Structure 1
């Protein structure tokens, strides 16, 4: 019965997104919720200007509905389910505000970095205090090290770094048609397998709900994209995958399974550090996917390559957790 829940959850989430999209995309277009493309980006992206954004709303709705229905039916609704939904919705609302300011108020940069950071920190702190009410452990595990490490009071700082860091990492990765949809489906799929193996079924169902939702979205987000998820989707997905890893006590395994997101973020850090210290750029453009674009790769080739790398990282993460 539980095995059946996985397929049903993916199917329900996928169908919700696929059914909503043909209704929601024209609605976004009528409201003129079109993406503005920054001038400093690749010139080939200018033709994407006006493509409806905020498609992350469909992903969020699909995740919420599928998770609540299927966890209630096949597992048990506990504080972990509600924490997952709280962080996902919270980061999603933050991304929605960012998108709304960009596309409706015509401020191309959206929320300021300080405003966005403050919102992410507040959500992370609330997550910490709710989790501690249920005596959630402040220990973290590191792959290859037998005994967990208790961070004590520093755990709240760790949570902020993890949730804020990975929400922004996924957000940075969202720069090409289908890139985040595919890489997040792979990463959440890996955590679904690990959660199932650890008999944490509510976390497994949530993870496969995300897989179904983003795969349904990918039908309309693959190149050439008919809709973008915007910060509404990318910030929510980043916060969600960090939360799954934290609740499973596989925090540092996320660095491996989410390797594509980590590499994309490092490319930005390296680029900025190099330019500020030497005046030279390491990459033609960051994040890294733009470097390959400007090196002559087609957008679809970059996306497929990053998906393949993401799959390798996911398989490595599962191998390390299950067999080492």
Structure 2
């Protein structure tokens, strides 16, 4: 627990202190965000706002993770708690960093060419597929055996709160599922990142929930149970403490970033942060074995993504738009809601999704002992 708290605290402090410095540097470098002419009129004041702020909390998360391992190094190593870097850490931080790199390329093109379109859709898809496929192979290809349990970061089974025994996909399709989850979440967070603090606050809630679930799995880890309790309700996720530490570090880093990103923002995360966060959230879903729970946990991301999907389908099939503008938060801007009202209310929606998902997760555990 000390390592998890230390990682969260260090990430928060680093992000809180570095973000304003990064904002000044990016402004000096004229790394400003170009605004689409189709956007809401209230966004004209955001023209030129420093972007690529995601670099700050990505770096803060990685450094805080290292500090967390430094704390673990002062404690006796056990099968449950290893002081060394694990494959789980490599996969999760790899998703955060590598998806962030894809987003950085997008932001860089926007800044250099003063074009809000940035990297082409094809380019983004190729980047996400390469990242998801490569790290998906790592997630499934390096098992760890502890006390008779063989575990991998990813899984050949679909999962809700644990692996579902009768929903086995096979290794090849499991990598396909891994890629799909990573792409879906990275694009969903990217679509949500349209108002000051919206994606940041929602991501904090989701990552805190994953941290809680991972730490619960750590406390009820199957390899820790004696053979006499083999039938006990437990979790066979690989390196659950590692998952909790990464989630806590990312949530802490985002909390420090939110101080400067909330309205009126001094810096925005850009695609660098949004794609990186989405990749990490998708990886957390795979690592905690909660893939089918993720649409509930990330309800706000799903709602906003579906608003875009429905808008496109409706316009292409009927020539009519369901919303004044998509994603959904821009529709409410044009209706007349203030940016702060939209963000706070959408945070409430995100919180309801998180609470519902946590209820399902912990309810399954309690039901097993009911």
1:144 CA displacement:
9.7
Match of 1:101 in 2: 109
- Tell me the CA shift for residue 147 of structure 1: 3.4
**Partner Cα separation in structure 1 for residue 261 and residue 207 of structure 2:** 18
Change (3 A) 1:131 1:6: closer
Conservation of the 8 A alpha-carbon contact between 1:9 and 1:70: yes
Count of residue pairs brought into register by the alignment: 322
SS at match of 1:147: strand
Contact 2:157 2:164 in 1 (8 A): no
Aligned: 1:272 with 2:312? yes
C-alpha displacement at 1:106, in angstroms?
2.3
1:171 to 184, 190, 196: 190
**Are 1:71 and 1:202, in contact at CA under 8 Å, matched by a contact in 2?**
no
Partner of 2:352: 312
Conserved? CA contact 2:110–2:116, under 8 Å:
yes
Deviation at 1:82, TM superposition (A): 0.6
Deviates more, 1:172-181 or 1:145-154: 145-154
1:138 aligns with 2:156: yes
Other-structure match for 1:121:
129
Specify the alignment match of 1:7 in structure 2.
5
CA–CA separation in structure 2 for the residues paired with 1:208 and 1:146: 27
For 2:214, the equivalent position in structure 1 comes to 195
TM-score between the two structures when normalised by the length of structure 1: 0.96
Any idea what SS the aligned residue of 1:284 has? coil
2:201 aligns with 182
- Residue pair 2:161, 2:289 contacting (<8 A) in 1 also: no
Q: Does 1:85 align with 2:93?
A: yes
Aligned residue runs from structure 1 range 1-324, under 5 A? 2=1, 4-74=2-72, 75-76=81-82, 77-135=85-143, 136=152, 137-142=155-160, 147=165, 149-152=167-170, 153-199=172-218, 200-324=240-364
Unaligned runs of 5+ in 1: none
State how far apart, in whole Å, the 1-side matches of 2:29 and 2:307 are.
35
C-alpha deviation, 1:249, in angstroms: 1.1
Q: 1:104 to 1:273 in 2, by over 3 A?
A: same
**1:227 shift after superposition:** 0.3
Superposed displacement of residue 148, structure 1: 5.1
Contact 2:51-2:268 at 8 Å conserved across structures: yes
Residues 311, 163 of structure 1: alpha-carbon distance in 2 compared, 3 angstrom cutoff: same
Contact 2:304–2:327 (8 Å) recurs in 1: yes
Please identify, of 211-220 and 66-75, the stretch whose mean Cα deviation from structure 2 is larger. 66-75
Distance 1:7 1:144 in 2: 25
Structure 1: how far apart are the matches of 2:314 and 2:164?
37
User: Structure 2: which 5+ runs fail to align?
Assistant: 73-80, 144-151, 219-239, 365-370
Closer, same or farther: CA 133–144 of 1 in aligned 2, 3 Å: closer
* Residue aligned with 2:165, SS: coil
TM-score with structure 2 length normalisation? 0.84
C-alpha separation in 1, matches of 2:27 and 2:166 = 50
Q: Work out the CA distance in 2 between the residues paired with 1:21 and 1:63.
A: 13
* Residues in 1 aligned to 2:186 and 2:196: alpha-carbon distance in whole angstroms: 19
In 1, Cα distance between equivalents of 2:303 and 2:50:
28
Q: Partners in 2 of 1:87 and 1:144 — Cα distance? A: 22
